[in-house]
Amino acid sequence: MTAEVAVLGVGMHPWGKWGRSFVEYGVVAARAALDDAGLAWRDVGSVVGADTVRGGYPGYVSGATFAQALGWQGTRVTSVYAACASGAQAINAARAQILAGLADVVLVVGADAAPKGFFRPAGGDRPDDPDWLRFRVLGATNPTYFGLYARRRIAVHGDTLEDFARVKVKNAAMGALNPNARYRARVTAEEVAASAVVADPLRLLDICATSDGGAAVVLSSMEFARRHGAADPVRIRAVATVTPRYPNTMLDLPDIATDSAVATEPHGEPFRASIAAAAYEEAGVGPEDLSLAEVYDLSTALELQWYEDLGLCGEGEGAKLLREGVTAPGGRIPVNASGGLASFGEAVPAQAIAQVCEVTWQLRGQAGERQVSGARVGITANQGLFGHGSAVVAVR
């Protein structure tokens, strides 16, 4: 018997470059989620904030920051940081509190006000920090790694620039239908090909932007949901937060070298594949049960990699799945019906929560023109810096 929690409410602040405090975005998302749940802020027994390192002290203690902004009312508070996986880690912390009986209702909030251009490490000299070292030694921004991933897929699996462009075209078409997306214009393959090279072989339109935005979810125990009149809510059935295993045999952020496989045999399952595998095992479902997936498409090539890591197809078959329309709207398993990061950009602490918002709307049948017909099971997947895996399985 799996341990489930109910998703009573979801809410977002639209993505963009708004030039305001991350707190404002988070409060807008939180109030929208509370309204969606039919609850007042005073009904919340705990708030979990996904931290943003760019917000100074308020960002480092985001749980208390959001609690203060909503109005001190004595709630339990937690703050979580796991880079891009912060939102899923925050959801996991909230779920644990509910299942432990510490709170009936938990509000999870993540928001960010991202800088222009590339993300960079926090200030100061840290020669033992691989994230700092990759900038200082290699000058390797995130798109450099995205380009390496893409080049590997070309070399190993025969993917093409046209395949990568197809991902952008698909996701942009979905983002055009999403009122919370930053980029709401359809894109052609020719426009992708004509955009500037950023990290060969990837073009500007192959790589996600940095954005402002916020997202929130209201979770509760199943018993509270029934008392509240939610007889058939969306339920979170699993949250995976696994880490890599030694030895790593493929270069991955933020490392600039792989581990030696001389002394230890590589594990049979790559890191990203282990994220989904852990979620499937906990939820008692498999890729064949999925109605849709929301994945972290930092680049177009990385979306193709997620197809394989989620078990939607075999190794090296991601581009074939895309070409056949399997992951497109109306296909067997639509991926990034929200428009993905291609349409949103990165608002780091919020995005994994936003993925759960999209899956919730889809499972409720409330996604409008983006709606996946008959959606019953959805998965989200991403990875955060320093080996934070995250995947959430939601069901209806």
* Domain CATH for 291: 3.40.47.10
For residue 123, what pLDDT band results from cuts at 50, 70 and 90? confident
Residue type, 117: G
288 and 183, same structural domain?
Answer: yes
Q: Write down the pLDDT at residue 2.
A: 60
242 and 95, same structural domain?
Answer: no
CA 354/CA 212 separation, integer angstroms: 13
Q: Does position 114 have pLDDT exceeding 50, yes or no?
A: yes
CA 19/CA 2 separation, integer angstroms: 43
User: For the chain, how many structural domains are there in total?
Assistant: 2
pLDDT, tens digit, 9 for 90 and up, residues 53-78 = 989 999 999 999 999 999 999 999 99
Q: Which helix (H) or strand (E) holds 277?
A: helix 271-283
Count CB neighbours of 285 within 10 A.
19
> Can you list the positions of beta strands (E) in 51-143?
76-80, 105-113
Domain that holds residue 344: 130-205+237-395
276 and 169, same structural domain?
Answer: yes
367 and 307, same structural domain?
Answer: yes
| Percent of residues, the chain, with pLDDT higher than 90 | 86
CA 140/CA 256 separation, integer angstroms: 9
330 and 244, same structural domain?
Answer: yes
Q: What is the pTM of this model?
A: 0.97
Residues 6+ apart with CB under 8 A from 145: 251, 252, 253
Q: Which two tokens stand for residue 389?
A: 């895996």
Q: Are strands 105-113 and 212-220 parallel, antiparallel or unpaired?
A: antiparallel
334 and 261, same structural domain?
Answer: yes
Q: Which two tokens stand for residue 189?
A: 């393959």
Q: What angle do CA 255, 59, 242 make, to 5 degrees?
A: 40
Q: Calculate the average pLDDT of the chain.
A: 95
b/e code 166-186 from CB counts within 10 Å (16+ = b): bbbbbbbbbbbbbebbbbeee
Report if residue 122 sits inside a domain.
Answer: no
165 and 248, same structural domain?
Answer: yes
Residue type, 310: L
CA 189/CA 162 separation, integer angstroms: 7
330 and 270, same structural domain?
Answer: yes
pLDDT, tens digit, 9 for 90 and up, residues 199-220 = 999 999 999 999 999 999 999 9
- Write phi, then psi, for 268 (nearest 5 degrees): -70, -15
pLDDT, tens digit, 9 for 90 and up, residues 331-374 = 999 999 999 999 999 999 999 999 999 999 999 999 999 999 99
Report if residue 124 sits inside a domain.
Answer: no
